Structure 1
Amino acid sequence: MKNKFDYSKSDLVLFDQTMREYGWIIYENALPADIVEQINHDLVSAYNVRRQIQVANGIAGNMDGTLHHLVESENFSLRFLEQQCCDEQMKHFLGGNYILNSMGAVINLKNAQPYVQNVHRDIRSFTGDLKLMVQMMVILDDFTLDNGATYMLSKSHLGDVKPDNVYFYGHADRALAKKGSVVLFDANLWHAAGKNNTDFPRRALTMAFTKPFFKQQLDYPRMLGYEFGEGLSKDLRQVLGYNSRVPADLEEYYQPVERRMYQPGQG
């Protein structure tokens, strides 16, 4: 495929050309094997916790194998974010600093029918040339035709009309990628998880990164704790949203610049 590159040889010229033409790009050999294995290990207990809540709240029907909001102090998430994978590309795409909007995962199993198999895009409103969000998939098992490699409708990021299923499945490409690869794509792109016809799971992290003023799906700084954030590196504070918080009262609002909830350089 013309939109697949080795991560070590990536450059912004190719990135721009590929994202304009296809709306998505695959970077192979993007993550070390030990980080991939840690993620897969941690997903087991993470899924059990989230599945119990889904079942208890009566929303388990179409959420098989889906995990949401995996940012936790003790799991893989902070180590992964510290890698700053595709940092240069995402800053270029979004025109400056960015934050993590959401971090989830999909464990695609045989005969499962989660909502991510529906044709969808990951931003509710079409934004055209205004780039507010970029999506990332971290490939945790080889993506193949048999195990449900994601359908990606190339060029669909250029228009606002949702394709019908006949057109979508007749024209969509498949994100065939090796374990350890990363897929970046425009949030305006229409896509859908494929069906897994094998006896083995097909796992992936699914993330959205946005301009800092875009509201996070879950308030990660508040969840982790403001004091916890004081011990993080400046890069982790940035991507987790500690530099673009919303004051909750006048005391938090009236602060000198260096202590303000919303820092300079956040758009």
Structure 2
Amino acid sequence: MKNKFNYSEADLATFDTIMADCGWIVYEDALDVDFVDEIANSLVNAYDERRKIQVKNGIAAVMNGTLHHLVEKDAFALKFLDQKYCDSQIRHFLDGNYILNSLGAVINLKGDNPYVQNIHRDIRSYTGNFKLMIQMMVILDDFTLENGATHFLSGSHHSKEKPEADFFYKNSDRAVVKKGSIILFDSNLWHASGKNHTNGQRRTLTMAFTRPFFKQQLDYPRALGYTFGEGLNESLRQVLGYNARTPENLDEYYQPVEKRMYQPGQG
């Protein structure tokens, strides 16, 4: 049965309507299955690396199955971002150029209780009608009611106050969607990952895109290297934040326009 939030063929006017009314929208068959499997398989080593740091720093209990900041030179992230999935929708929602705020993943397993299962929204301050951030989920396994399909309280992006748990779970919609789908949702929307009651894993990429002046969760240009950025195409330079950097000294500040850290057109 077709998901009622699936508007894969939607034009931007329909996108506006469903995002205003519900706060989230599904695009099915967005990624090639082979690419989905490539991404999913890469999470094994990526999680092991991050888990060691979580354990070392004493935050393992609430971080089960969560992976943060998967933007790396030799992994899938640059290939993914270069495809510009939902670019017109994100650009339309944020009214111009945008940058990546974060790119991570969740591996939802039976018995885990990570923080993403709490009712939350993905932006700390309620921004109302001012669109500052949009979230993207890339579905790496079929989402079902049994394996923890995400709860979305449709329309709650218009509410500043966190809903009571009883009301949230009674009234939320479930993102029952197929592997390879993309979900876009307003960052003001209240949601929660479901609990996995199966013996399988339920994996998804999670990311946020913002207007360029919004600070990234991780300084991707500095992490990847400024020299590395010189070899990227203009689209990747833009989305990774190379055109919206902060100078660290006067020499970087006093530059002709074409060499400035913060380029024109970034809002």
| TM-score by shorter chain over 0.5 | yes
Structure 1 unaligned segments of length 5 or more: list them.
none
Q: Which amino acid aligns with 1:12?
A: L
Q: After superposition, what is the alpha-carbon deviation per residue over 1:219-253, rounded to whole angstroms, capped at 9, x for unaligned?
A: 00000000000000100000000000000000000
**Structure 1 residue 5: deviation in Å?**
2.4
* Runs of 4+ in structure 1 over 3 Å off: none
Q: Which amino acid aligns with 2:7?
A: F
Alignment correspondent of 1:124: 124
Counterparts of 1:117 and 1:107 in 2: how far apart (Å)?
Answer: 12
Counterparts of 1:32 and 1:89 in 2: how far apart (Å)?
Answer: 20
Counterparts of 1:145 and 1:107 in 2: how far apart (Å)?
Answer: 16
Counterparts of 1:35 and 1:99 in 2: how far apart (Å)?
Answer: 23
Taking only aligned residues, the RMSD between alpha carbons, in angstroms, comes to 0.6
Alignment correspondent of 2:75: 75
Q: Secondary structure at the match of 1:122?
A: coil
Alignment correspondent of 1:2: 4
**Structure 1 residue 136: deviation in Å?**
0.3
Alignment correspondent of 1:161: 161
Counterparts of 2:4 and 2:40 in 1: how far apart (Å)?
Answer: 29
Q: After superposition, what is the alpha-carbon deviation per residue over 1:147-185, rounded to whole angstroms, capped at 9, x for unaligned?
A: 000000000001101001001001000011000000000
Q: After superposition, what is the alpha-carbon deviation per residue over 1:35-84, rounded to whole angstroms, capped at 9, x for unaligned?
A: 11110111110000000000011100011000000000010000000110
Alignment correspondent of 1:149: 149
Alignment correspondent of 2:226: 226
TM-score, normalisation: structure 1: 0.98
Alignment of 1:243-258 (within 5 A): 243-258=243-258
Q: Which amino acid aligns with 1:228?
A: F
**Structure 1 residue 11: deviation in Å?**
1.4
Counterparts of 1:165 and 1:2 in 2: how far apart (Å)?
Answer: 24
Alignment correspondent of 1:97: 97
More moved, 29-38 vs 239-248: 29-38
Matched residue count: 265
Counterparts of 2:34 and 2:249 in 1: how far apart (Å)?
Answer: 43
Counterparts of 1:242 and 1:148 in 2: how far apart (Å)?
Answer: 36
Counterparts of 1:22 and 1:264 in 2: how far apart (Å)?
Answer: 34
Q: Which amino acid aligns with 1:5?
A: Y
Q: After superposition, what is the alpha-carbon deviation per residue over 1:189-213, rounded to whole angstroms, capped at 9, x for unaligned?
A: 0000000011110000000000000
Q: Percent identity?
A: 66
**Structure 1 residue 217: deviation in Å?**
0.3
Counterparts of 1:175 and 1:13 in 2: how far apart (Å)?
Answer: 22
Q: Secondary structure at the match of 2:47?
A: helix
Alignment of 1:172-183 (within 5 A): 172-183=172-183
Alignment correspondent of 2:259: 259
Q: Secondary structure at the match of 2:138?
A: strand
Counterparts of 2:229 and 2:66 in 1: how far apart (Å)?
Answer: 27
Alignment of 1:203-218 (within 5 A): 203-218=203-218
Counterparts of 2:148 and 2:4 in 1: how far apart (Å)?
Answer: 21
Q: After superposition, what is the alpha-carbon deviation per residue over 1:66-117, rounded to whole angstroms, capped at 9, x for unaligned?
A: 0000000010000000110000000000000000000010000011000000
Q: Secondary structure at the match of 1:5?
A: coil
Q: Which amino acid aligns with 1:241?
A: G
**Structure 1 residue 188: deviation in Å?**
0.2
**Structure 1 residue 10: deviation in Å?**
3.0
Q: Secondary structure at the match of 2:74?
A: coil
Counterparts of 1:54 and 1:243 in 2: how far apart (Å)?
Answer: 31
